[in-house]
Copies of this chain bind each other. A is one copy, B any other.
């Protein structure tokens, strides 16, 4: 009942005419539902994942279909219930645990990075922790400094967990399917702005064609979201949408932008990045996480440590090491907006 569609690694995810379209949120919950149907060891746990269906609709409908024994609302005790997930996974269950906002990792990080991520290694491979930890990320709707962060760089820095970051419905379903089936702990971070929620401004790409059947998008494989020859944008999550918008706009002026959607941070598809910049020589890394000591630095270093001379231009468009401000005017001054991305691309090609 499962297919792996490999060719999406290098092709844009475009709805084919007549194919079913889903929001990213629906794609996520469909992936979970299908895995729950196929494997009774899969269960879902978190705050408001039951009758509410998840604050960002990642678990909508699951309670009705699978009942309260497999879709469990928890107290606001992230350490306890993530740890419960770990213990359950160790015993062979396959929990999908939601941490409502990634910003809350600070109350439960020990379970995540010292336990979920390390048990397999510490046990010399004798104990597996097949668990998915999913969380909402990102800003852009004035939710303030404690509810708008991306933070994927923090998770990617700490070894032992895979980290995936889908940007669209197709990848969201395929990565969730792969994550649940994986024997490794996977951190699954979805940006609220790619979920296609009715109550939030959304990019049209947050609703797209999604196959009905279960399929996997391979963890650790980037996708060439758009081919181009002048500049490479390496990016992820909502910033993929912005980058594609910018690429489309600049194409009219004859500027050819290649957009790489990383999709996974761990493992990081360093080959795909290098391949693209070999062609363009110019790299713009776009990231909604904080700029320093994070994704942007890693992407750049990955290139130059392998081929120091390959880049003639490199720049970053990220959140400049400031807490996310509340006021819209301030928040949009620090987010990687299309305007900032466009300026960076123009600067890159000007050289």
Contacts and interface: CB of A to CB of B under 8 A. Distances in A.
Interface stretch (A51-59, A111-119, A204-212, A218-226): A111-119
A34 interface: no
Contact of A305 (B103, B146, B158, B314): B314
B300 A292 contact: no
9 contacts: A118-B145, A157-B289, A159-B321, A266-B292, A296-B301, A300-B301, A304-B304, A304-B311, A309-B309
A326 B325 CA distance: 43
Contacts of A121: 145, 322-323, 325
Interface in A289-325: 289-290, 292-302, 304-305, 308-309, 311-316, 321-323, 325
A109 interface: yes
B106 A111 contact: yes
Given A144-B122, A304-B311, A305-B300, A159 B323 contact: yes
Interface in A143-182: 144-146, 153-154, 156-160
Nearest to A145: B118
* Residue among A110, A157, A160, A313 with max Cβ neighbours from chain B (10 Å): A157
5 tightest A-B contacts by CB?
A106-B110, A297-B297, A106-B109, A297-B301, A157-B293
Nearest to A294: B157
A159 B103 contact: no
Contacts of A144: 122
Given A106-B112, A300-B304, A145 B157 contact: no
Contacts of A112: 106
A107 interface: yes
A240 interface: no
A44 interface: no
Contact of A292 (B156, B290, B304, B308): B156
Contacts of A297: 293, 297-302
A28 interface: no
A187 interface: no
A132 interface: no
Contact of A316 (B118, B301, B312): B301
